[in-house]
Structure 1
Amino acid sequence: MNKQLKTIPHFSNEEEERIFWESHDSTDYLDWSHAQSVVLPNLKPTTKTISLRLPQHLLDSIKAAANSRDVPYQSLIKVWLQEKVQNH
């Protein structure tokens, strides 16, 4: 396919680029037939710190459950939240 590709504009920041790609089709700018698969093994998900107030008895129960599984209680909370979201 010898489609004439458009030139990708210069973006001054990521937000500007994001807005552009939300309203434009990348196939007008890139020849995806030459794309290659990439594996990024060291990529870690972005995390955000939050503050969560729990009753002391609930936190104690969570810590006890985590201790019996030999995992940090915050990790156990994340696992439980992920399971609940997937099953919802």
Structure 2
Amino acid sequence: MPKPTKAKKTIKPVPTHKSEAAERAFWDAADSVDYLDWSQAQRVRLPALKPSTTTISLRLPDGMLDALKVLANERDVPYQSLLKVFLAERLAAERGRKRRAS
């Protein structure tokens, strides 16, 4: 018995819009499957894309900041970057601890 064949879906052309707001409203209501053949999609790398950051003011004891700068210098990284690494590691550990406790 022959396999049933799928009917090829016709892809609608993506309309042009007068503004970003109009385009957002369109895509909020439309299904992208009607306009794009996702089976032909390719992964894209965006190496220059950086996560958004927020500047904060943080008061540290002088000795703690000095120790952080010494460690950062030993690792040849900016001390702010090292502080972000330390915070990220601690946040991951705390999240893991909470999951195990749940």
TM range, normalised to the smaller chain? 0.5 to 0.7
Unaligned 5+ segments in structure 1 are none
- Give 1:76 shift: 0.3
Q: Report matched runs for 1:7-22 at 5 Å.
A: 7-11=13-17, 12-13=19-20, 17-18=23-24, 20-22=26-28
Residue by residue over 1:28-82, the C-alpha shift from the partner in whole angstroms, topping out at 9 and shown as x without a partner, is: 2111122233344x42314434022222333233223222323210110121222
Aligned to 1:48: 53
For the pair shown, the structure with the greater C-alpha radius of gyration is 2
- Give 1:26 shift: 1.6
- Hey, what's the Cα distance between the residues in 1 that align with 2:44 and 2:28? 23
Tell me the TM-score normalised to structure 1 length. Answer: 0.63
- Give the structure, 1 or 2, with the largest relative contact order (CA under 8 Å, sep 6 or more): 1
Q: Is 2:89 the partner of 1:83?
A: yes
Identity of aligned residues (%): 44
Q: Report matched runs for 1:56-75 at 5 Å.
A: 56-57=61-62, 58-75=64-81
Alignment size in residue pairs: 86
Computed over aligned residues only, the root mean square deviation of the Cα atoms, in angstroms, reads 2.8
